[in-house]
Amino acid sequence: MRLPTCALALAFLAALPAAAEDLTIVSKVSRDGGPPTTATSYLTSDHVRIVQADGREFMIDLKSGDMTVVDGRRRQYFVVTRQDLEQARARIQQQMNNPQMKEAQERMKNLPPDVQKKMQAAMGGLVGAVTVQKAGTTRKVAGYTCEDWTIAFGQISKTEECLTSDLPLPAQSWERYREFAESMRNMMAAMGPMGKGISDLQEKMKDMKGFPLVMKTTAGLMGRTSTTSSEVVEIKRGPIPASAWQLPAGYTRVENPMLKGGPGM
């Protein structure tokens, strides 16, 4: 579920209008009913650091275009450069175009519809199964009004968010971020059915405006169900210290899985 999660994060960042102030966002996060913990995210003119409820986070250096993906549970991290994204896109495209893949795609077209649906679910449940709905309700979270939305990936994943439009991304980062997001979209477009599902998600999320003050995701795969949630409890405006972009001590750098197309991707 890492790729859909990253896609959600990228999509809500893309929906933020331009503004001027740096933001420090403190959230209460929990996983599978466990005790809540505190996570802090940062948004500035040249860096973004987003902490997710499952202990993972990512940082984007909007000057260089590098993204650092951090796994707090394993105490590991890897770095994705713009060149890595382009190489991954080319590798995926080559794999999707090889004779074996094309033959498999043709065989799948001839399968009974119910079998096709099961195979699509196994591939991620994204093909023709992405839904984005506005609930029509609002609430107050951390002193800000937000609107409720639901995003679903077929039967395997459902995310409920409450978005506020009062917390925009600092203005200077907008163009740099758009360049980074375009690189991500180009890579996803090469991923065949999975990439199409992500592209459909991004298209359907265009109407979603604002930052998620509340996010709850329930995912089920192979008989297992997991729930992660986060809720903003404090928002501070003002300069952010350079230490916010430093990795925790003792974390190990590992190879970027995009370079080998491994499951960590």
pLDDT 10s digits, 183-196: 566 555 555 555 55
- Residue 105 domain-assigned (yes or no): no
* Cross-strand partners of 48: 43, 60
- Residue 210 DSSP one-character state: S
- Residue 49 domain-assigned (yes or no): yes
pLDDT recorded at residue 208: 82
Q: Which residues does the chain have with pLDDT short of 70?
A: 1-20, 53, 93, 95-97, 101-102, 105, 117-129, 168-202, 222, 260-265
148, with CB counted inside 10 A (0-12, 13-18, 19+), is middle
Q: Checking phi first, is residue 189 left (phi over 0); if not, alpha (psi -120 to 50) or beta?
A: alpha
- Residue 104 domain-assigned (yes or no): no
pLDDT recorded at residue 94: 72
Are the C-beta atoms of 163 and 144 separated by less than 8 Å?
no
- Residue 109 domain-assigned (yes or no): no
- Residue 92 domain-assigned (yes or no): yes
Instruction: Round to whole Å and give the CA distance between 234 and 13.
Output: 19
Residue with tokens 């409450």: 162
pLDDT recorded at residue 4: 45
Which tokens belong to 201?
């998600």
pLDDT recorded at residue 17: 47
Which tokens belong to 98?
């090889």
- Residue 264 domain-assigned (yes or no): no
Distance of CA 167 to the CA centre of its chain: 18
- Residue 107 domain-assigned (yes or no): no
Instruction: Round to whole Å and give the CA distance between 81 and 12.
Output: 21
- Residue 184 domain-assigned (yes or no): yes
Q: Phi, psi at residue 33, to the nearest 5°?
A: 75, 5
Number of independent structural domains in the chain: 1
3-state helix vs strand vs coil in the chain, percent to 5: 35, 35, 30
Domain ranges, residue 15? 2-99+114-259
What pTM was estimated for this model as a whole?
0.69
For residue 158, give the CATH number of its domain. Answer: 2.50.20.10
pLDDT recorded at residue 32: 87
Instruction: Round to whole Å and give the CA distance between 121 and 119.
Output: 5
pLDDT recorded at residue 211: 82
Residue ranges of E strands in the chain: 18-19, 23-31, 37-43, 47-51, 56-61, 67-71, 76-80, 130-141, 144-153, 157-164, 169-170, 211-221, 224-237, 252-253
